[in-house]
Structure 1
């Protein structure tokens, strides 16, 4: 079970059944047995070397880089819902469940400082009471109890710990894993590494373009950067893999029997950004969901003018001007 999918329940159907080629699997948009809930996730990258077709006076050179970073800190959020007839009883039952869960977490090695209880809501619940009169009925709302919701956030550092948290939560009658957020404590350092690699790649491209005899005006240029951070939770997709039963036998026999279809299982899988959309990738091989850092560096150069200028002196001589 992957631990990064935003879930409404503790157990998620995240496995992929591979019944075709090993590198394809059921999660293949070209196959006819899958219905997808997401569009193409890796659009083709734009041209990285182009000129301005309007006047051929500019050249834009860009580099796209990708860095796959394994998280070192996670925060899991469990939602706890409690109802009771009175406010006091609701609060007491909620406190008992949370304390039981926190005690089990502490027993598994989680520090109390890594737990935080977040109050979400505390509202009365109403029921309808019917009041019979001589010629009519009146429906009145009356207090029927209270509902309280709290979230328990847990910080941890090893992905496999979440399996234990799910088991401990169920023992405390907590069954709703809301989400898991991923972080890295040294994110800025990796951003700098990605930027340095992209700039080095950009310099290499510019040097290779010298063979085209392009005279780039280094004094007239603009530079732009676009940085993005993609969390694992945003890269999960779902599909339904199934094979429909043949209805030829029904049509052949002339039967008009209705076919009752069973509910098809929804599978989910993690799909990171594809490498083909980038010029360079740091840590390309990944085994588990990762934080993906992307950076695109673009430089727009103006081409040097090839026009020649002459100066006519007062005595009628022409001299060539050298423009640098």
Structure 2
């Protein structure tokens, strides 16, 4: 682990100012991912800016009728919050599908958004990785890539985003509130994370020194018809091979509104609004669900060991939609 200085921020403005003055600084809250990266010598911050004393631990209603979740609210606190369980059960279920109780008790909402990939080659400093060292190459493309991406990849990177929480937030169309040198701004969730392109080392569209302060959920939480389905190698404490957050609004068996987000398949939570549109106004049938699933993976590409994810993603989408619609599960 490299040497670094430690500073405890007393307010949001001070935290942002400190980070801006030190380009290699990083904010630390729960530290459940950052400390691992530092131990493996993957992350080498020059300064750690402790934000745990900032007033960002509240869950409160917004003026638009949604919920505002402070960046320092723990994953456990979100999942077991009465309003989240009642109005946004999709989010609660996604959070509880991830990590372990001990990690969820420490991990923060803001930190979850900023999780780095769990690619083996990213964590192994003895192998090439464009995310860790731009221009070094991608060891996963010609290596063991069973857990890697099938959508939105580039010739620079095929890593996946690891978060369960973020898949639900993508389906719910959340908004991220951040503060930086220009003051506060809002980022639609779909624009927060990046695909790898030729800059795979950049995971988000945050500007240097910007601090996440909250996540805002819209009024509509799809509490009646929703499902979070996570396919993984073991029943708990494992990252998704494929996960699907499905949310439906039904009227007499027809789909009035649909949201679909996939995890474990891309560099960011994957949402295809064109594929969603194929289902809008149609009867909620397995045949129509299958058509949407086919559309979502139309541009998918496997890299050897992860070819199976293409078919797995289709089946998981169909099953999640059927579960959300309250239908008998397909075999």
- TM > 0.5 between the two? no
* Superposition TM-score, scaled by structure 2 size: 0.18
Looking at secondary structure, tell me which structure has more helix per residue.
2
Looking at secondary structure, tell me which structure has more strand per residue.
1
Whose radius of gyration is greater, 1 or 2? 1
